[in-house]
Structure 1
Amino acid sequence: MSSHRDAPPHSGEASAAGPTQSNFEFADAKFARTSITGPSPSSRATDLKRIGRIGALAVALGVGAAIAAVPGVAFADTAEGGSPESSAERSQESSSGTEAAPPQHRSAREKPADRDDKPSPPTRRGATRTAATEAASGRDRPTRDTESPASGVGESAVTSDGDDRQPAEQSVATTTTTLRSATSSSSQPAGVPDSPAQESVLLAASASIGRPNEARTAIPSPAARSAQTSVLTEAPQQASSTAADDADAQDRDVVIDADSLTVSRPSNGTTYTDPTASGGTALLLHRNATASTTVTLPEFTSLVIRAKGDQYRGAPEMRVSVNGKVVSKVAVTATSWTDYTVPFSGPAGTYTLSVAFTNDRYSRRNGDRNLRLDTVTVVSAVVDPEPPTPPSTGSPGYFEGADWLWKPIATNPVLATNSATWVNYLAAPDKLRIANLYDYSVALVSASEITSSTPRYDVAFTEPWGSDPFGNTTVPIPLGTKVPPGSDGHVAILDPTTGLAYGIWQAKYNSSTNTWSGSWGGMTDLDGDGIDQSGSATAAAIARYAGVVTAAELSAAIAANTGINHALAFSTDLAGPDFVYPAAKSDGQNWAGVAVPIPEGYRIQLDPSIDVDAIPGMTPGERVIAKTLQTHGAYVVDQGSARMAFAFELLDDATSTSPGSVWVDAGFAWDYYDMNAIPWSQLRVLAPTSVSV
């Protein structure tokens, strides 16, 4: 039915247990490093000096500990992981971030089969290279500094992997690893290893010299952590979110950017730009390495690693560890970012999380196997409460079969082909998008208002458009029911007695004869799909009660700071003669005269990503309408003189000078209120469905 024909022109619409590092100096710890092939002749004079130091250390620490500093002493545990190692190794691995030795570890004298086409450099991984040798090679290698927190005396050893392969992204920065002290704490989370034994301190401090197993980190208590003093050349980047930094994080997931993790061998990891990654950057492990961080977490239920792999003769293996314990080994077969869930839970506390790349493979001519990491998400055990929703009885009470009306819009819906064109029309700056609050509102009679004493009327229809749409059915209309004064005169009734819903267009009450009449009307089942089965109360044959904003639901939505739980209905001067579901017909005549009129039945939606609460100047009522347009949208049900005119309930206290207290309290101070604070340019028009959704 055409709307607003008579609308006024203006309206439109540690330290470890035992001696601390300050008891002795590690300034000469670098002398404990030797080439795997043995010391060079030039280092023999230095070896003699070292013997004196070993003797002094033997007095201070015991002979067994001093022997640990002798060149060539191997670590007993060289298995891939899961086997026990000394607590000293665990302590050093915790502080330096050294990763586990992978099963395919290659010595300086080996020429691995999977790299048979690459010439062997003079030294291989683990071999010592002096600064002069490094400079002569023409290759800049990252430097790792291990520094004593107690004495401030550190070493700077430049090491080479001996691999002529360079990472695909050349953006690796120098990484500084700090030796941390640790104390035993009874409050540590379950699974945290004990602190290192006193006699193992020297061995732990030298652990980065050899090839330790997978890192098994001793997590200090929060008190011990706060007492630590770290001397850094560069402060390591911290996790992007920690519960210690934000109390709210105790109840939320903790998301850690992979490029904030500390890589055990800095030269083996690269931060690179990737537009598809979170934040636009990610971490590439192009050789075997472990990326770790220590973070305070809420109680959690699982870990989610977002990763992908460069495939070459198989997928890269990702080994996930918590506090040094391997909790998952995963073949990363995905070549695009994929979430890998690790079902590991833990109580609130401080944890070291590690992700290791363990099966690097490379051929200069054929390919390169790499692991790429985006984020590590710790899934909190605390479930956020559901957002508030308007009070509901659990059932709408009418048109329960109308999924098109009640069902929220799906994520990423398909848009109409002409969506952009129609949004351009709908959002035109010189047009009005109004709330019909009085003249062209709808008088609603709910089922709760109908009783056995409510008078019933045989409504007479004056238009010769067919047989009486109500037939012999009488319509219950309470005494005193007001009719909106505009030319549409819409009245809609829900009748629980007959189980029918009625809509009357241009309704009139004759008090002299106590009769009701109308130009036309529509009728449908009260528990049906909300589309008139006999006659039609709207141009689209959508039941007149459907989509109208009621005072009760708007007030409830304002209190809950939500939208309304059903789609809205509006008329527009863009309506054309075509129609789509749920419309069953159309009277559109393209009053706006646009090139592409919109068929009745189309559904619009406001961009759901918009933070409506952050929009300045919005009235409470506009916020409700905007949020409803985000979740449920609105349907074109009629043509009218405004660009968009939304149907609202006629209030009992409405007058020609005030639309009623509920609307005024919501910020809608007058009829035809122009809701110009809603970002109409952010609408989209959805593709129709041919059948009930």
Structure 2
Amino acid sequence: MQRPQKTLRRLQLTLAMTALLSTSPTWAQEWGSYLKPFAADSLWNSRPVNPVFDNFVIPTDTYFPAVTNNTYSTGIFLASPDDPPVTVKGLTGSKGLFNTDDENYHDVTIPHWPAAARAAPGTDGHADIVDPTTGIVHSLFKLKQEGTQWTAAMYAWTKIDGRGWPEPGHYYQGARATGVPAAAGIIRTHEAAQKPEYYKHALAMSLSYSGLSPNPAYVFPATSADTYAATRNKGSIPEGSLVMLPPDFDTSRISNAEVRRIAETLKRYGAYIVDANIGTPFVIYAEIGSDANPSPSGWNNTVANELQSVRAGLRRVISAESWVDGNGNKFTPNQNLNLLSMRGNWTQQSGSVLGKFSSWDQAVVFPATSSVSEVVNYSNRGMNAVTWAKPVMGASYTLTARTTNGGKLRMSIYDQLAGKVVFDSGYLANGESKTFTWNANSPRLALYAQSGVGNSTAVGGQLLKAN
């Protein structure tokens, strides 16, 4: 008897994923890897204990809630050391490829570009490339192949073994509105093929403007939101929020296996709001080609109604007793994150070589030189105005230099209202710190970087709250 085509496809997919898991090296199945992105204590891999919920209900909208594994989701492509480099340029007719971290337009050469890489078919054109050799997830928005040339509107990156969320200094680390890569939180192909009781990570979700908050537009752990949030949003849930189904939500009444699996995940891990959509109460994202679509054959009244019941049950988490990471350890999420970036325009003060900001190094990098060179950055782009991380007047902060080859870092803060310099760290070598009281109402930063002699030098820094 001939097996139905849909069932055959699922069987082939399951066998393929089983083969992938069995043949993948150990590193590929550990935290911070292609199959298990980000650290064990990333909020994507953690769950709250005894969460407290808001009472706002995500409203109905033009369409029914959805789970998408195609047009507006993304593929996640694994690069190998043997894959060739590819230079991505800006879209034809545009200013160029916008690099979110250095806030400039320029081409980016991805060191290893897998042949399988494809853009999502929707207008967002998402694609994320995981490169284990560099430990980087390359996240692209509106990716296109124009002839033999790859182009995109935007490029960002994050560490595959990192938090999975940006920090105030490196505030945009992916192509979603919240600064996360499109791959973060999505239901993966290998996960869906295994048909678990629930997925062991928080999910990625977008809301329509009717559910999203105009002010605040985003909350921790997000560092940004959609551009027009203040005028378009009409709801009460900021981007970056965690939404969950309460413990008493009855999943036994859900007949569709995939909807029930998602609901069980929402009871345990929840979903983070990473983006806005138009007219759909919520969208949950699954990897393109995965078997996570609860209605793969098209419209299904039962699925639509069961997703509506999930919508009606979802609530925003406003606090939790504690958190449990992917290894089962309790922890408190860290909000004291680096405030400083070395981005901006650097001009030469002395010496023979010019140091330039390298986003992948998070530092100013000088080429090899036989004498000390110094550059200065007056652009005041070293700190981004992330709302939940703004410096507090009277609080103590610690600046620490992170340099190589004898490089040195100096930072001064000029208060534009007071008309004077209120802090100057002096030159700090690698690992040296300076603690000071923040007392600038209208700060303007000046950053200085000094090279070592001989090999290339990297000069970066970290600015953290000290109390």
Q: TM-score, normalised by structure 1?
A: 0.36
Equivalent position of 2:240 in the other structure: 601
1:504 equivalent in alignment to 2:140? yes
Distance in 2 of aligned mates of 1:400 and 1:470: 30
How has the CA–CA distance of structure 1 residues 402 and 521 changed in structure 2, closer, same or farther, with 3 Å as cutoff? Answer: farther
Cα deviation, residue 482, structure 1 = 2.7
1:639 to 273, 276, 279: 276
Q: Which amino acid is 2:203 matched to?
A: L
2:222 to 572, 577, 583: 583
Equivalent position of 1:409 in the other structure: 48
Equivalent position of 1:669 in the other structure: 297
Q: Which amino acid is 2:284 matched to?
A: F
Distance in 2 of aligned mates of 1:582 and 1:528: 13
Cα deviation, residue 589, structure 1 = 3.4
Contact 1:576 1:587 in 2 (8 A): no
Distance in 1 of aligned mates of 2:82 and 2:165: 28
Q: CA RMSD in A?
A: 3.3
Equivalent position of 1:566 in the other structure: 201
2:187 to 541, 545, 549: 549
Contact 2:61 2:281 in 1 (8 A): no
Q: Which has the higher strand share?
A: 2
The superposition leaves residues 360-401 of structure 1 with CA deviations (integer Å, 9 ceiling, x where unpaired) of: xxxxxxxxxxxxxxxxxxxxxxxxxxxxxx999563622115
Equivalent position of 1:524 in the other structure: 158
Contact 1:566 1:632 in 2 (8 A): yes
Uncovered stretches (5+) of structure 1, i.e. residues with no partner? 1-389, 652-659
How has the CA–CA distance of structure 1 residues 489 and 595 changed in structure 2, closer, same or farther, with 3 Å as cutoff? Answer: closer
Contact 2:165 2:173 in 1 (8 A): no
The superposition leaves residues 252-285 of structure 1 with CA deviations (integer Å, 9 ceiling, x where unpaired) of: xxxxxxxxxxxxxxxxxxxxxxxxxxxxxxxxxx
How has the CA–CA distance of structure 1 residues 688 and 458 changed in structure 2, closer, same or farther, with 3 Å as cutoff? Answer: farther
Residue 75 of structure 2 aligns to a residue in which SS?
strand
1:435 equivalent in alignment to 2:63? no
Cα deviation, residue 692, structure 1 = 3.2
How has the CA–CA distance of structure 1 residues 494 and 543 changed in structure 2, closer, same or farther, with 3 Å as cutoff? Answer: same
Cα deviation, residue 522, structure 1 = 1.3
Cα deviation, residue 645, structure 1 = 1.2
Alignment of 1:57-96 (within 5 A): none
The count of residues paired between Structure 1 and Structure 2 equals 277
Cα deviation, residue 536, structure 1 = 3.6
Q: Which amino acid is 1:669 matched to?
A: S
Contact 1:443 1:492 in 2 (8 A): yes
Distance in 1 of aligned mates of 2:68 and 2:122: 10
1:692 equivalent in alignment to 2:334? yes
Contact 1:439 1:485 in 2 (8 A): yes
How has the CA–CA distance of structure 1 residues 637 and 591 changed in structure 2, closer, same or farther, with 3 Å as cutoff? Answer: same
Contact 1:567 1:634 in 2 (8 A): yes
Q: Which amino acid is 1:437 matched to?
A: N
Cα deviation, residue 452, structure 1 = 2.5
1:459 equivalent in alignment to 2:459? no
Distance in 2 of aligned mates of 1:443 and 1:460: 20
Alignment of 1:128-207 (within 5 A): none
Cα deviation, residue 671, structure 1 = 8.6
The superposition leaves residues 80-113 of structure 1 with CA deviations (integer Å, 9 ceiling, x where unpaired) of: xxxxxxxxxxxxxxxxxxxxxxxxxxxxxxxxxx
Distance in 2 of aligned mates of 1:593 and 1:468: 27
Uncovered stretches (5+) of structure 2, i.e. residues with no partner? 1-20, 23-27, 91-95, 321-331, 336-467
Q: Which moved more, 1:489-498 or 1:639-648?
A: 639-648
Q: Which amino acid is 1:676 matched to?
A: N
Question: Using CA pairs below 8 Å that are at least 6 residues apart, which structure has the higher relative contact order?
Answer: 2
How has the CA–CA distance of structure 1 residues 609 and 632 changed in structure 2, closer, same or farther, with 3 Å as cutoff? Answer: same
- Structure ID, larger Rg: 1
Equivalent position of 1:615 in the other structure: 253
How has the CA–CA distance of structure 1 residues 478 and 472 changed in structure 2, closer, same or farther, with 3 Å as cutoff? Answer: closer
Contact 2:38 2:164 in 1 (8 A): yes
Distance in 1 of aligned mates of 2:300 and 2:241: 23
How has the CA–CA distance of structure 1 residues 586 and 672 changed in structure 2, closer, same or farther, with 3 Å as cutoff? Answer: farther
Q: Which amino acid is 1:482 matched to?
A: R
Cα deviation, residue 687, structure 1 = 1.2
Q: Which amino acid is 2:89 matched to?
A: A
Cα deviation, residue 568, structure 1 = 0.7
